[in-house]
Structure formats: structure tokens, C-alpha cells
Amino acid sequence: MNAPVISLHPVGETGCATAPVLRERGQREVFCGLTGIIWLHRKIQDAFFLIVGSRTCAHLMQSAAGVMIFAEPRFATAVIDERDLAGLADANEELDRVVARLLERRPDIKLLFLVGSCPSEVIKLDLSRAAQRLSGRFTPSVRVLNYSGSGIETTFTQGEDACLAALVPSLPPSPATAEAELLVVGTLADVVEDQFARHFADLGIAAAFFPPRRSTALPRVGPNTRFLLAQPFLADTARALEARGATRLAAPFPLGSEGTTRWLLAAADAFNIELSTFERVTAAGRERANKSLARHKAQLSGKRIFFFPDSQLELPLARFLSRELGMQLVEVGTPYLHRQHLADELALLPRDTALSEGQDVDRQLDRCLAARPDITVCGLGLANPLESEGLTTKWSIELVFTPIQGYDQAGDLAGLFSRPLVRRLKLAV
């Protein structure tokens, strides 16, 4: 028998919608926004990311991305050394020279991002003026844009938000008379994008994806655009799209069987698709997802999980793990809580969930060590110290690098949490 479809309007639960949130503003342990380049450069295949930064930035990218020396990478760092204000004119000239050399050597580049970083010598440079100057010189063959990937921002996923928000003004306008169109916003692995594209096509909805695989195929946007966020960390991008007249469709995020169903249903509802059509199109996917989750439920049900704030995926993950796998949420930390974009997630979380926003890392470590959860989701910097205290950890960055959205990835997503627990049990024998 097919799994019954759930009703979306209204979600009908209030969950944590009005729950108190512990707000902390202390020392943080997070990666910087440059990290987003790793998945963005794979997605937009004719884009190049030129980090304007220091040797530290270059080292971070080199080790985080593990670039092969024989590959033609699509990102690099222009290292700006310490210099006084009088040296800034030279820095601009140097940047222009580096860009000209790069574009001459790499005619495959159609979109160049100048990515700012946090060293003080870089902050003194006006990268938006540099991007305008260089765009004037290289348009139409290359578009040059800029954004900040600096570690001063809240969290590493904000790099993607800043990148996409910088790209929104370049999206072509859609004619005022055009029919409603769906735009899926947020980087998805190609395999996931293909699956969603098939679901939307089967539902009879014309859908485009942003960012696109090629910068020469930017989707159009206008008052007829209805957009669905595929990632929960795109506040600035959503604001920029709304300023172009687009309307956001409220939905939870497409993690797990329920999240994917509710996400697709939000689109189906906005495009007046019959519920029977929706049931028919999604039945097989829901069944596959539910079957693959059952295998992991035995290992995860009743286990206690603690989330340190890192990726902004924490709330959707917590909702998935508690509702579909029976896990208990000890604390769900998020670097930033966007109440509007996460309203449907908050409504689905268990009523008594301990939510925290921001971080005071020492105090949070104390809470985590006192609670001794079965598994802790955290950034790389905290994983080793927690493991040495006998706790099982999961790197949150892995959840951003791995295809986890959609029906066919639900089991893989659950496996990311059940595997470390099984490994720990084996080690303990």
C-alpha cells in the first residue's frame, strides 16, 4: 500500500513556534564563508572564484578542497600582502593584472567572482568597485561580480548566500505577462537536482534552478516567479529575489520523506496541482524513502543527539531525525534563527526542544559534556576534543558536501548518523 500523503495546509502543529530560545553571543567555533566555494565551483561549471585574501585563506582552500595538482582548478587566491593605504593603488593594479592574465589563459571562464576575505589589508580594498571596473573591461565575454566570504560573518554557509545574492541582479527579467514559474533556490548536487526536475515535470510544473550549472543559462525572475528555498541559509538571496518581485513559497526543507513531500506539496499547492496527481507522482518516492529509513530507525530510535551551531541546517535535520527516526533532541543549536524561513520547521519540532541561537562555545561544551548525548553534530574544530571525551561526533560540514535532499537520499542521510553510532558500538566490544 502506498504511504498516505500528508496534508500541508495548515501544518496544524505549533511545535516550537513560540518556544523560548537561548541566545548566546560569545566565542564561536565556525569555518568562514570561503568554504562555500568548494560546492559552488562544482555547481556553476563556467565560473571561477578568485579569493582576494591572505596566505591563510589560500591554505584553508587548498586543504579543504584537496585540489589535485593536475586538475585545472576553478578557484585560486590572489594573496594581498600587508601594505599601507598608499599601497592600495598598487593592489588594485595588481588585481587587474592577475585577472587579465587569468582570463587570457582561461577562455572557458564566463563568470568571475572576486571573493573578499577578512584580513585587514583586504578589507581596505573596494572589491565592488574592482568588480565594476573589471566587468566594464571584460563584458560581454566575462561577467565579474564580488561578494564576501569573510570569517567575520555568522557561519560558513553564508558564503553561498552572499554569492547567490550577488548574482540575483544579473538574472534576466521575466515578462510581466508570463505564466507563473517555479524557481528552486540553493545549490543542490546535480543528481538531486535531476530528481527534483523529474518530479516537477511529472507534476506539470515548469521549474528552473538557481544557481544554474552554466552562468550563461541564468533563470529569469519577476513577479510571476514563485521560489522554493532548497537550503535554509539563504536569507539575503531570498530578500534580493523578493526585491525583484518574486514570492517565496513557505515550506519545510526537503530532508527526509516528510520534508521532501511537504516541500514538493508547497509547489504543487501554489501551482494548483490536483492532490490525486501529487499522490500519484510522489507515491513511489515516498515508499522508497520510508523503506530505506526503516533500516536505520532500529539503530537511531531513542538515541540522544546534540547539535552545535554550524551550518544552519540544524533545525531541518533535527526535525527529520526526531519525526522520522525517533531520535531525542538534547539541544538544537543554530548560528542564526531565521524565524520566517524556518517557521514550518519550528512548527514540526517537538514542543519541548531546547533551542539555542549563536554560541558561547565553552558554556555549550559544558552543557554537551554534562548531557553526554549518543551523537553530537559539530564543526571540525570541536570533533576531536569531544571524541577524546568519549563522545561520538558527526562533522556538520559533511552534511553540506553530501547529497542529502530528496526521497532517494533519505536513507543515505539517516546513514550519516547511524554509521558513527554503529562504529562506536563495534569499537566498544
Interface contacts to ligand SF4, rule CB under 6 A: 32, 34, 53-54, 56-57, 60, 117-119, 149-151
> In terms of CB distance, is 118 or 347 closer to ligand SF4?
118
Q: Which residue, judged by CB position, is nearest to ligand SF4 in the bound state?
A: 151
Kindly state the smallest distance separating residue 151's Cβ from ligand SF4, in Å. 3
Minimal distance in Å, beta carbon 381 to ligand SF4? Answer: 12
Q: State the residue for C-alpha cell 582576494.
A: 52
| Residue 411 vs residues 255, 341, 414, 419: alpha-carbon distances, Å | 10, 25, 5, 12
Identity of the residue, 159 or 211, whose beta carbon is nearer to ligand SF4 in the bound complex: 159
Q: How far is the CB of 155 from ligand SF4 (least distance, A)?
A: 12
| Cβ at position 379, least distance to ligand SF4 in Å | 13
Measure the CA–CA gap between 105 and 107, rounded to whole angstroms.
6
Min dist CB 80 to ligand SF4, Å, is 11
Closer to ligand SF4 by Cβ: residue 154 or 260:
154
Q: Is the CB of 119 or the CB of 254 nearer to ligand SF4? A: 119
The answer to whether the CB of 380 falls within 8 A of the CB of 390 is no
Amino acid present at 66: G
Nearer to ligand SF4, 159 or 219 (CB): 159
Q: Between 117 and 290, name the residue whose CB sits nearer to ligand SF4.
A: 117
Least CB distance to ligand SF4 at residue 417 (A): 28
- Closest CB to ligand SF4 among 150 and 282? 150
CB of 238 to ligand SF4, least distance (A): 24
Nearest to 264 by CA among 239, 240, 241, 285: 285
Radius of gyration of the chain (CA): 22
**Sign (positive or negative) of CA dihedral 260, 263, 269, 273:** negative
CB of 105 to ligand SF4, least distance (A): 25
Instruction: For the CB of residue 159, give the shortest distance to ligand SF4 in the complex, in Å.
Output: 9
Nearer CB in complex with ligand SF4: 359/409: 359
Burial of 109 per CB tally in 10 Å (0-12, 13-18, 19+): buried
In the complex, the smallest distance separating the C-beta of residue 150 from ligand SF4, rounded to whole angstroms, is: 5
C-beta closer to ligand SF4: residue 148 or 215: 148
In the complex with ligand SF4, the residue whose CB is nearer, 292 or 311, is 311
Of 307, 159, 146, 318, the residue nearest 233 (C-alpha): 159
